[in-house]
Amino acid sequence: MSVDRGKEPAEHGSSGDPPPSPSRYESQKRRDWNTFGQYLRNLRPPVHIFQCNSNHVLEFLRYLDQFGKTKVHLQGCIFYGQPEPPAPCACPLRQAWGSLDSLIGRLRAAYEENGGSPESNPFATSVIRVYLREVKECQAKARGIPYKKKKKATKGGEDSRKRIHQDKTHQVMTLCFFHSWIGWTGHSSLSLFVIVISSLINLDSNGDLYQP
């Protein structure tokens, strides 16, 4: 009986532990959701958050530019396209593309977590994707940051490189065999030199097969 009574306080104590604090991402997502909702309520007339569309989202993103800290040079600026301008200029400050992209990602998730339908999610429309892509390209040119679209490696290309690697491994093993054979027979190393040169002539400085 005394053992059972000793366990009860521990069990009640464990059930009364406070829940773990939300992660930084979850906290930021909640703040973004509340900020967007407040923005819609301040419109005239006010707009309910589940009645907004992509136009409201675009207006919200442009509204946030006034709080941006990223210098985006205009085309008439002498520092346009320079990543590190030597002097200040009067070009406006904007929200960085990366910040807007992360913001949209959090709001897109929050919309559905709060009961919104994925089909009507205003943060997941093609209009928003196009806008973010245009902002990225515009800021990259204005700030002198090269914009390169990453190319996804195809499965066929990976298989081809794998076969090349296997072939090259086979060649190395063959060279080792010839080296041992030449050393055993006492032949001149000139033959080995010719074999090595002919086998490696197509290798670039990184060890990959050169393909013009």
Q: What is the largest CA-CA distance in the chain?
A: 96
CA distances from 82 to 65, 90, 144 (A): 21, 15, 5
| Residue with the larger pLDDT of the pair 56 and 205 | 56
pTM score, whole prediction: 0.61
Q: What is the pLDDT of residues 124-159, one digit of tens each?
A: 999 999 999 999 999 999 999 876 665 555 555 555
Q: Find all residues with CB under 8 Å of 33, minimum gap 6, and list them.
A: 106, 107, 110, 114
User: In the predicted model, is pLDDT for residue 101 greater than 50?
Assistant: yes
Tell me which residue has tokens 């366990």: 7
Residue 20: pLDDT band with limits 50, 70, 90: confident
Structure-token pair, residue 13: 């104590």
Q: What is the pLDDT of residues 154-204, one digit of tens each?
A: 555 555 555 655 555 555 455 545 555 455 555 555 454 444 444 444 444
| Residue with the larger pLDDT of the pair 150 and 42 | 42
Structure-token pair, residue 193: 């030199």
Q: What is the pLDDT of residues 45-54, one digit of tens each?
A: 999 999 999 9
Q: Which domains does the chain have, with CATH numbers?
A: 23-142 (1.10.150), 155-200 (no CATH)
Calculate what percentage of the chain has a pLDDT beyond 90. Answer: 57
